[in-house]
Amino acid sequence: MAITSIKNLKEFSTNNDRFEGAHLLCPGCAHSMIVRELMNCTDDNLVIATNTGCLEVSTAVYPYTSWDTSWIHIGFENAATAAAGAEAMYKARKRKGTLKDPNAPVKFVAFGGDGSTYDIGFQWLSGAVERGHDFTYVCLDNENYANTGGQRSSATPIGSTTSTAQAGSHSYGKKEKKKDMVAIMAAHGAPYVAQLAPNKWKIMAKGFQKALETEGPCFINTVSACTTEWKFDPKDTIHITDLATDSLMFPIYEIIDGKELNILYRPKNIITVEEYLNAQGRYRHLFKPENRHVIEKIQKDVDEKWELLQRREEARV
Ligand X SMILES: Cc1ncc(C[n+]2csc(CCOP(=O)(O)OP(=O)(O)O)c2C)c(N)n1
Contact positions vs ligand SF4 (CB under 6 A): 25-26, 29, 31, 54, 58, 142, 146-147, 226-229
| β-sheet bridge partners, residue 255 | 193, 261
Strand duo 192-196 + 106-113: pairing: unpaired
| Contact between 269 and other proteins per CB under 8 A | no
Cβ neighbours, 10 Å, residue 266: 12
Measured between alpha carbons, how far is 157 from 174 in angstroms, rounded to an integer?
7
Contacts of residue 199, defined as CB under 8 A and 6 or more positions apart, other chains included, come to: 238, 241, 242, 244, 245
* Residue 25, Ramachandran bin (φ over 0: left; ψ between -120 and 50: alpha; else beta): beta
Q: Are 189 and 219 in contact (CB under 8 A)?
A: no
- Considering beta carbons, is residue 106 or 153 the nearer one to ligand X? 153
Measured between alpha carbons, how far is 237 from 100 in angstroms, rounded to an integer?
42
Q: Choose which of 67, 71, 76, 201 interacts with ligand X (CB under 6 A).
A: 76
- Considering beta carbons, is residue 147 or 160 the nearer one to ligand SF4? 147
| Contact between 95 and other proteins per CB under 8 A | no
The secondary structure of residue 302, as a DSSP letter, is: H
**Residues 145-164 close enough to bind Mg ion by CB under 5 A:** 146
| Contact between 77 and Mg ion per CB under 5 A | no
Measured between alpha carbons, how far is 276 from 270 in angstroms, rounded to an integer?
11
Strand duo 192-196 + 253-256: pairing: antiparallel
**Residues 89-118 close enough to bind Mg ion by CB under 5 A:** 113-115
18 binds, among other proteins, ligand SF4, Mg ion, none (CB under 5 to 8 A by kind): other proteins
CB of 40 to Mg ion, least distance (A): 23
Number of residues that bind other proteins (CB under 8 A): 56
| Contact between 179 and other proteins per CB under 8 A | no
Q: Choose which of 28, 53, 191, 251 interacts with ligand X (CB under 6 A).
A: 53
9 binds, among ligand X, ligand SF4, other proteins, none (CB under 5 to 8 A by kind): other proteins
Contacts of residue 56, defined as CB under 8 A and 6 or more positions apart, other chains included, come to: 50, 73
Measured between alpha carbons, how far is 72 from 74 in angstroms, rounded to an integer?
6
Measured between alpha carbons, how far is 72 from 104 in angstroms, rounded to an integer?
19
| Contact between 142 and Mg ion per CB under 5 A | yes
Q: Which stretch binds other proteins (CB under 8 A): 47-55, 57-65, 268-276, 282-290?
A: 57-65
**Residues 209-268 close enough to bind other proteins by CB under 8 A:** 233-239
**Residues 37-56 close enough to bind other proteins by CB under 8 A:** 37, 42-44
- Considering beta carbons, is residue 32 or 154 the nearer one to other proteins? 32
Measured between alpha carbons, how far is 288 from 137 in angstroms, rounded to an integer?
39
Number of residues that bind ligand X (CB under 6 A): 18
Contacts of residue 184, defined as CB under 8 A and 6 or more positions apart, other chains included, come to: none
- Considering beta carbons, is residue 52 or 247 the nearer one to ligand X? 52
**Residues 100-129 close enough to bind other proteins by CB under 8 A:** 101, 104
SS3 70: strand
Cβ neighbours, 10 Å, residue 96: 8
CA angle, 62 as apex, 57 and 66 as ends, to 5°?
A: 65
| Contact between 288 and other proteins per CB under 8 A | no
- Considering beta carbons, is residue 66 or 153 the nearer one to ligand X? 153
Q: Which stretch binds ligand X (CB under 6 A): 6-14, 112-120, 159-167, 233-241?
A: 112-120
Which residues lie near ligand X (CB under 6 A)?
A: 52-55, 76, 113-116, 120, 140, 142, 144-148, 153
Which residues lie near other proteins (CB under 8 A)?
A: 1, 9-25, 27-33, 36-37, 42-44, 59-60, 62-69, 89, 92-93, 96, 98, 101, 104, 198, 201, 233-239
